[in-house]
Amino acid sequence: MQMSGIPFGTTDWSEIQRTEHKGTTGSAYWKTQSFGAIRVRMVEYTPGYFADHWCVKGHILLCIEGELHTELEDGRKFKLTPGVSYQVADNAEPHRSYTASGAKLFIVD
């Protein structure tokens, strides 16, 4: 990831309007900021959320609240709890996530 042309700034996430993205079940609510080609998001998954697709986008993802389960297309599964992160490159390993209890995430991609 090359970061250039981004002056120092702060983001008050409480002022960013959220958008809804429905899963197979539940919803994800995104608050998104873009800095050139870099997207930064605060994402909240509702209890019972299950992604509706296998994602091939690269991310750096930090769990802030709740519990998130991420499975890879090859069958491996991972659990994220507050303070635990994952990283994956674009087109590297298809993945999808779900949560029984809900989760809040900070994502850079």
Neighbour tally for 52: CB within 10 Å: 13
Buried b (16+ CB within 10 A) or exposed e, 16-50: eeeeeeebeebebbbbeeeeeeeebbbbbbbeebe
Residue 1's pLDDT is 66
Section 24-36 average pLDDT:
96
Residue 60's pLDDT is 96
pTM: 0.92
Q: Distance (Å, rounded) from C-alpha 72 to C-alpha 95?
A: 4
Residue 4's pLDDT is 85
Section 30-38 average pLDDT:
94
Residues facing residue 65 across a β-bridge: 104
Please give the mean pLDDT across all residues of the chain.
96
Section 54-83 average pLDDT:
97
Closest CA to 105 of 43, 48, 51: 43
Tokens 């997207």, located at residue? 39
Confidence of residue 35 (pLDDT cuts 50, 70, 90): very high
